[in-house]
Structure 1
């Protein structure tokens, strides 16, 4: 083997070991839940992303963010140590599947429709005669399925809203926060969408694989606790208050 080959192999080995040594402490999957967290132009952004970034800084942990469809992301987290997802609604059906850190925020599940249709929804029973779209394995979807609803699934919240506007579904279950942010993101007239019925309330958390080391979870929990104590969590939330304005 000549000197060039030996040199080339040495470079490859060095690159491999450097990459291994620099592997992130955590792999984080983002749900599409604006303005809390989503990928925009291949970058994570949102209130929960800002909270998570500060938590990582204070806990001196590194993380790699990934953008997967929500059902696939949650499935991957369940089988992979040091993998987490956020923001995840903490509901009874998920309780034993993850380690939980939070809450980071609280949202109210709300059914939205097109204002021009002047729909009247006074109960979940009223909604059963309509076509409803949602994210597969989303907290709202799981809740509605438990109540006997059959849903039309999408991979992103943008897709859900576009389907609503195109008439492919009649109702879109989201939160007042996410609905306004998605309307803004798609450059749509917010007056086209109307909040019709609040059907659920969910606390949002970081959900981690059950085998993620206790020391890692303790560092994150301590960081979040310090952020509550010095009002950093409140300050980050306040920065997003303008976007959190509910749809009328």
Structure 2
């Protein structure tokens, strides 16, 4: 009898493990160089993407990464208990809405001005508010500007892709870009404008760690599997330079 009971328990354990291992995991993110980049052939690469791929390989899970505008990426990630989302900054407001699997990269945010905007001895928020600032929509940076008194279509322009902001800056349609330093620096380099966009003000309170997250309704066994894989990847990251540091 004990043998039969043990066999039944073992069978249920197998089914439970299978239930926590989907045939394919849908992973959602946005275009956000250098963290996520879509190549011409459709392949998604980038600093954060490389780490996510390592985690999925360690977890032995099949997956597909989809790059969408951020609002849609968040919406799609809620449709399945097995869906994942990255790179998302961890904040108190978001804490309960996601299961935080692993840190990926550090994000630092700053204001960059157009070259022909007169220099100030020291740029402050109240001075920048006298100009038009482009910021990515539905991001912490946009919420920050609103909290500082910036007004849409007056001195703040929210764009679906910060890449568009670079073009607007060069055409004189805006005066500042407010965004992730790595992203803006890379965009300036791509446009051949490295020495023409000046970083004038950093915002340390917006410095965050970007994470890989799961749906709160995901099975515990699935979450544990991902976290265990992430820990193994993290141990390897400590031994080599992965090009995307995180705070310990």
TM-score per shorter chain, which class? 0.7 to 0.9
Q: CA deviation at 1:35?
A: 0.9
Q: CA deviation at 1:79?
A: 4.3
Among candidates 164, 187, 209, match of residue 215 of structure 2: 209
Instruction: Report the counterpart of residue 144 of structure 2 in structure 1.
Output: 143
| 1:37-186 map, 5 Å | 37-41=36-40, 42-120=42-120, 122-150=123-151, 151-185=156-190
Q: CA deviation at 1:70?
A: 0.9
Q: Are the aligned partners of 2:31 and 2:68 in contact in 1 as well (CA < 8 Å)? A: no
Tell me, what secondary structure is at the counterpart of 1:148?
Answer: coil
Aligned residues: 217
Tell me, what secondary structure is at the counterpart of 1:140?
Answer: helix
Q: Which runs of 5+ in 1 are unaligned?
A: 1-22, 241-248
Pair 1:193-2:197 in alignment: yes
Q: Are the aligned partners of 2:136 and 2:179 in contact in 1 as well (CA < 8 Å)? A: no
CA distance in 2, matches of 1:103, 1:86: 10
Instruction: Report the counterpart of residue 224 of structure 2 in structure 1.
Output: 218
- Pick closer, same or farther for the CA change 1:130–1:234 going to 2, 3 Å: farther
- Pick closer, same or farther for the CA change 1:108–1:72 going to 2, 3 Å: same
CA distance in 2, matches of 1:132, 1:78: 31
In the superposition, the TM-score normalised over structure 2's length comes to 0.78
1:19-55 CA deviation, whole Å, 9 max, x = no partner?
A: xxxx753211222221111323222111111111111
CA distance in 1, matches of 2:219, 2:24: 11
| 1:4-19 map, 5 Å | none
Tell me, what secondary structure is at the counterpart of 1:235?
Answer: coil
Q: CA deviation at 1:193?
A: 1.0
Tell me, what secondary structure is at the counterpart of 1:81?
Answer: coil
1:112-143 CA deviation, whole Å, 9 max, x = no partner?
A: 11133234363323222221212211221222
CA distance in 1, matches of 2:189, 2:23: 33
Q: CA deviation at 1:176?
A: 2.1
CA distance in 2, matches of 1:63, 1:119: 48
Q: Which runs of 5+ in 2 are unaligned?
A: 1-21
- Pick closer, same or farther for the CA change 1:144–1:212 going to 2, 3 Å: farther
RMSD: 2.4
Greater mean alpha carbon deviation, residues 93-102 or residues 23-32: 23-32
Q: CA deviation at 1:58?
A: 0.4
Instruction: Report the counterpart of residue 13 of structure 2 in structure 1.
Output: none
Pair 1:237-2:231 in alignment: no
